[in-house]
Structure 1
Amino acid sequence: MLQLESMVEKLNATFYNSVDFVAREISFPKDQYAILCYYSSMANKKDVQDIVNLLKMQTTVNEKEWDATTSSQKESYNLEKLVEYVCQGFTVLLLLNSQEMVRFTIPDLPHRSPDEPTNEAIIRGSHEGFVEDMDVNLGLIRKRMRVPDLIVKKVTVGTDNKAEVYYFYLARFANQDNLTELERKLNLMKDKIDGLYTSGQANDFIEDSPLSPFPQILNTERPDRVFANLSEGKIIIMSDFSPNAFIAPVTLFSFYQSPDDFNSRVIVGSFYRMVRVFSFLAAIFLPAFYIAVVSFHYEVLPIELSKKLKLDISEIPYRPIFEALIVEVIIELIREASVRLPVALVQTIGIVGGLVVGDVIINAGLVSNMVVIVVALTAISSYVVPSVELNTSIRVLRFPFMFAASILGFFGILLGALALVVHLCNLNSLKSPYLYPIVPFDPKKVKQILFRGKHTKSSPQPSSFDPKGREI
């Protein structure tokens, strides 16, 4: 039989004598002993005391009356399992006489209230958001999805710092091929990483082409958006430490849909969806178009505008590509600084950056007025995208097009556009076509790219998981 004192010392040594680790001795009649193990920083102290009080009233540790206070699970003693349970926030009762242990589920982990995510704010609709607690997040989803076939599964990943990854789907709508592909990738991730520290690690394993500039997983913190995508047969992936939900498979056009589209009237929702699609083209091609025009193709402009533009850039001492790059880099520096600085200083950075870009560098003769207008319109167009991931991708993509336009003009833009389309056609999300319903072409679904249908005649939005379509 394990000795009480030596076992307490062994447990403290196993947990490196951490000040918040508790190994509490509990004695029973008939020379029976137990040790209650938990982290005081992760366990609910009131529930722990309730367990202690209940155990002190027991005549023997073999009775199962502890189930009256909290859920528990009894199993054979295993030190490795005990360490894993305690590190996850469970309270473990070690029974020395029978060499068994009982795991109590009474964690008290801190988490935020489910407030609306700041990076996905909407005008109308639900204002709840996910938090860093999986039980709360699943509750927010099940509150909306009141059906029994919402299946939730869990995979433990990591060889050292283990983390739990959850994925869930509707059994009647989810595509089995997509589900099999996701499970294969999650199983591959199990032993490939020491621990799951950021959501980006999961992205690299789940995406079909992690080196592509285009995200193949939709990231959201909105329960209503998750609900809508579950109804379309998508699969949701979440971890137990992050408020982000990953949606797959998706198409390129999924990133341009917003909950506001469906909360607004039909015409209004369709109009803003068209605006977003147009902003995608403007954010990528507008700076390249400007460089191509002023470098090679003045003839495409009206004579009056052409003369004014030539006069405006005549004093600039370098080529248009460098002029555009100066302003683009300044805009990116201002954006990055506004993200990293405290909120109290963001407005100051905006004012200083506006003065520098809008007035000082123009008066200094470093750039022309027209390039400032073009870059400002490009920045605004890129921020219209509802998805942060695609937003950053677009900002990166415009630089190759700018260089192509500076070398070959419109022909360079055409070659770049052709390469972009070929890349999108070959891109997949969980082995499903990324450019659907354009490739493969589905005329019934194409109109949903720009137009939001009436709720009285609802059908799924363009989806890559089932090219044949499915009525809900």
Structure 2
Amino acid sequence: MRRSFSKRTTRKLINPTVEKQDTCDTPAMNLEEKVTFIREGLFLTDDLSIRNLIFNEKQVKLMFIDSIVEVGSIQNSVIKPMQENPFGHIKNVVYGANVNETVDLQGALDALVDGHCLLIIEDEECMFLISAPKNQSAHRIEPINEKVIRGSHQGFSENVAENVQFIRERITNRKVTVKYSHVGVTTKTKYALVSISTLTDPELAKTIEERITYIKADAIQSPGYFEEFLEDSSFSPFPQFLNTERPDRVVANLMEGRMALLMEGSPTALIFPVSFFSFFQTSEDYNSRSFIASFLRLIRLVSFITTLCLPAFYIAVISYNYEVIPVEIIFSIKSSLEYLPFPPLIEAAIMQFTLELLREAAIRLPNPVAQTIGVVGGLVIGTAVVDANFVSNTMVIVVAITAISSFVIPSNELSTSVRILGFPLMVLASLFGFFGIVIGLMITLIHMSKLKSLGHYYLYPMAPFDVKAFKDAFIRVPIWLMKERPRDLKAIYKWKTTNPRGWKKNEQSD
């Protein structure tokens, strides 16, 4: 199906302000005005629920954010008692709940995102805040493929409302906006777009909403379907959206000005737009000191280059360029190649293909069996092919280092992509030597420079070049020095902090 993207206007939200009232005698705003104020103050988020009730023969609006409050508790402690006793005072009718009076609409907004529900009664200035936070102990399972030593050990579930709760627990701010909708002509799958309204570029929100409206597929069953419908270049080997199962990682990217997509039935969130360097950042980078985080990130980047180039480099050396390695090593390699029936390219392809077979077998089998297959298969096959003179000892070492390097890359999708890219690079190395490797890397780099993620350059901050953004690219400087958000995201408010630490190194207290 051909994708076509067009432009449409967006609705401009109002940031409401109101002065606090000191008395409950004269209403300053009517019921509908207060409801409108609250809805706009929460930036028209879709997880705001409004119930209509009658109490003391007056209209009552009960408002709450259903992703962070216990809806069952509200039903039993608030709605049901008011229906059974439609006359009296709220504090005498609503039992089993902490009820507080307020006249401050701004304070009511903050209370709503903190797990309260709000009762607004017609022709009365006083409002009632009732505490009903949702249990925060639900689903505390760490994702298997994104484990950390230091940091949060919570992962997403397969319930979209619960996943929104995890995000709101970490950002207790009314500026978090959730937009629920359904996609799929037959499946009608529920999804949620999450952003921070005062940070996210309105053009980005408009672009992603437009692209989703063009999805006319019969079924959308996982975030992977969304990814293929929304990405700029479907035939690029590089992932253009970031997949994660960690709420803390989603929150960190939302605070940069990005958006996230959550889907019913999947624990995976899509984050967009992203750059190439986003795939080398982990949650643990920001829980460790900058020196350690920078060292580990450089190792990941080196492992990317190793996975991509090492087999091709070995083939080029063996086939064309013996002179680049020491003479002592040449004799050792030459002796191991003496009785081999295959050229280096076939030798490398056999080992890489065998490694992929073992990897897939380990994924599909139960854990105890998978560990046995990995250890026994690797040892037995590795030893057997060398003894049978099908593969040299040196090639086994090269493939083993390549495999280990691919495991270091934090993103499984990027890791798979770079392993696939290694095959054409090996072919070029077998045909043209080092010149073929250079040609292959140039084509890859040109493609990455042209590639975009929702219109944002994939190689930012290298192309276009932005020296300030290098603070969190190859290395990570101390967090207090990262004062600005990435410029390519065009966040509404670019500053993370205006006063990094507020004290001087040599400052002494009296």
**TM-score range normalised by the length of the shorter chain:** 0.7 to 0.9
Q: Whole-Å Cα distance in 1 between the matches of residues 493 and 432 of structure 2?
A: 42
- CA 1:404/1:130 → structure 2, altered by over 3 Å: closer, same or farther? same
Question: 1:449, 1:462 within 8 Å by CA — same for their partners in 2?
Answer: no
1:156 matches 2:182: yes
For 1:389-404, list aligned pairs within 5 A: 389-404=413-428
Secondary structure in 1 aligned to 2:260? strand
Tell me which residue corresponds to 1:115.
Answer: 141
Q: Whole-Å Cα distance in 1 between the matches of residues 488 and 406 of structure 2?
A: 24
Task: Could you tell me which runs of 5 or more consecutive residues in structure 1 were left unpaired when the two chains were aligned.
Answer: 1-45, 59-67, 69-111
Question: 2:471, 2:477 within 8 Å by CA — same for their partners in 1?
Answer: no
Secondary structure in 2 aligned to 1:156? strand
1:357 matches 2:376: no
The superposition leaves residues 342-400 of structure 1 with CA deviations (integer Å, 9 ceiling, x where unpaired) of: 11211220122122333111011000011111111111111111111111111111111
Question: 1:249, 1:464 within 8 Å by CA — same for their partners in 2?
Answer: no
Compute the displacement of 1:249 (Å). Answer: 0.2
Secondary structure in 1 aligned to 2:303? helix
Superposition CA RMSD, Å: 2.7
Q: Whole-Å Cα distance in 2 between the matches of residues 217 and 347 of structure 1?
A: 31
Q: Whole-Å Cα distance in 1 between the matches of residues 209 and 222 of structure 2?
A: 19
For 1:189-338, list aligned pairs within 5 A: 189=215, 192-338=216-362
Question: 1:316, 1:368 within 8 Å by CA — same for their partners in 2?
Answer: yes
Equivalent residue letter for 2:300: R
The superposition leaves residues 173-208 of structure 1 with CA deviations (integer Å, 9 ceiling, x where unpaired) of: 11122212111111111xx11121122211111111
Tell me which residue corresponds to 1:346.
Answer: 370
The superposition leaves residues 91-112 of structure 1 with CA deviations (integer Å, 9 ceiling, x where unpaired) of: xxxxxxxxxxxxxxxxxxxxx8
Compute the displacement of 1:455 (Å). Answer: 2.4
2:165 aligns with one of 95, 118, 139 = 139
Q: Whole-Å Cα distance in 2 between the matches of residues 436 and 467 of structure 1?
A: 15
Q: Whole-Å Cα distance in 2 between the matches of residues 135 and 156 of structure 1?
A: 14
Q: Whole-Å Cα distance in 2 between the matches of residues 295 and 467 of structure 1?
A: 51
Question: 2:409, 2:415 within 8 Å by CA — same for their partners in 1?
Answer: yes
Q: Whole-Å Cα distance in 1 between the matches of residues 380 and 346 of structure 2?
A: 17
Compute the displacement of 1:155 (Å). Answer: 2.3
Question: 2:201, 2:491 within 8 Å by CA — same for their partners in 1?
Answer: no
Question: 1:357, 1:372 within 8 Å by CA — same for their partners in 2?
Answer: no
Question: 2:311, 2:398 within 8 Å by CA — same for their partners in 1?
Answer: yes
1:181 aligns with one of 207, 211, 221 = 207
Q: Whole-Å Cα distance in 2 between the matches of residues 326 and 152 of structure 1?
A: 49
Q: So what's the TM-score if we normalise by structure 1?
A: 0.75
Q: Whole-Å Cα distance in 1 between the matches of residues 322 and 194 of structure 2?
A: 55
Compute the displacement of 1:114 (Å). Answer: 3.3
1:423 matches 2:435: no
Equivalent residue letter for 1:178: L
Tell me which residue corresponds to 2:192.
Answer: 166
The superposition leaves residues 319-362 of structure 1 with CA deviations (integer Å, 9 ceiling, x where unpaired) of: 00001111111111110000001112112201221223331110
Secondary structure in 1 aligned to 2:145? helix
Q: Whole-Å Cα distance in 1 between the matches of residues 251 and 219 of structure 2?
A: 29
Secondary structure in 2 aligned to 1:118? coil
Compute the displacement of 1:447 (Å). Answer: 4.2
Equivalent residue letter for 1:381: S
Secondary structure in 2 aligned to 1:247? strand
Question: 1:233, 1:465 within 8 Å by CA — same for their partners in 2?
Answer: yes
The superposition leaves residues 291-326 of structure 1 with CA deviations (integer Å, 9 ceiling, x where unpaired) of: 000000001111111121111111111100001111
Equivalent residue letter for 1:144: R
Equivalent residue letter for 1:421: L
Secondary structure in 1 aligned to 2:339? coil
Q: Whole-Å Cα distance in 1 between the matches of residues 273 and 487 of structure 2?
A: 8
Equivalent residue letter for 1:247: I
Tell me which residue corresponds to 1:25.
Answer: none
Q: Whole-Å Cα distance in 2 between the matches of residues 210 and 468 of structure 1?
A: 29
Q: Whole-Å Cα distance in 1 between the matches of residues 274 and 433 of structure 2?
A: 34
Compute the displacement of 1:463 (Å). Answer: 6.8
Question: 1:251, 1:464 within 8 Å by CA — same for their partners in 2?
Answer: no
Q: Figure out how many residues of one structure are paired with residues of the other and give that number.
A: 373
Q: Whole-Å Cα distance in 2 between the matches of residues 343 and 291 of structure 1?
A: 35
- CA 1:396/1:464 → structure 2, altered by over 3 Å: closer, same or farther? farther
Compute the displacement of 1:156 (Å). Answer: 1.4
Larger deviation, residues 302-311 vs 442-451: 442-451
Q: So what's the TM-score if we normalise by structure 2?
A: 0.69
- CA 1:294/1:461 → structure 2, altered by over 3 Å: closer, same or farther? farther
Secondary structure in 2 aligned to 1:154? strand
Secondary structure in 2 aligned to 1:120? coil
- CA 1:466/1:298 → structure 2, altered by over 3 Å: closer, same or farther? farther
Question: 2:256, 2:486 within 8 Å by CA — same for their partners in 1?
Answer: no
Secondary structure in 2 aligned to 1:269? helix
Question: 2:159, 2:265 within 8 Å by CA — same for their partners in 1?
Answer: yes
Q: Whole-Å Cα distance in 2 between the matches of residues 177 and 354 of structure 1?
A: 51
- CA 1:461/1:301 → structure 2, altered by over 3 Å: closer, same or farther? farther
Equivalent residue letter for 2:249: R
Question: 2:275, 2:460 within 8 Å by CA — same for their partners in 1?
Answer: yes
Question: 2:141, 2:154 within 8 Å by CA — same for their partners in 1?
Answer: yes
Compute the displacement of 1:126 (Å). Answer: 0.6
Task: Could you tell me which runs of 5 or more consecutive residues in structure 2 were left unpaired when the two chains were aligned.
Answer: 1-71, 85-93, 95-137, 497-510
Secondary structure in 1 aligned to 2:469? helix
Equivalent residue letter for 1:254: S
Compute the displacement of 1:268 (Å). Answer: 0.7
Secondary structure in 1 aligned to 2:376? helix
Equivalent residue letter for 1:427: L
Q: Whole-Å Cα distance in 1 between the matches of residues 302 and 241 of structure 2?
A: 22
Q: Whole-Å Cα distance in 2 between the matches of residues 144 and 241 of structure 1?
A: 22
The superposition leaves residues 141-195 of structure 1 with CA deviations (integer Å, 9 ceiling, x where unpaired) of: 0010111111111221111111112111111211122212111111111xx1112
Q: Whole-Å Cα distance in 2 between the matches of residues 183 and 161 of structure 1?
A: 19
Question: 1:436, 1:463 within 8 Å by CA — same for their partners in 2?
Answer: no
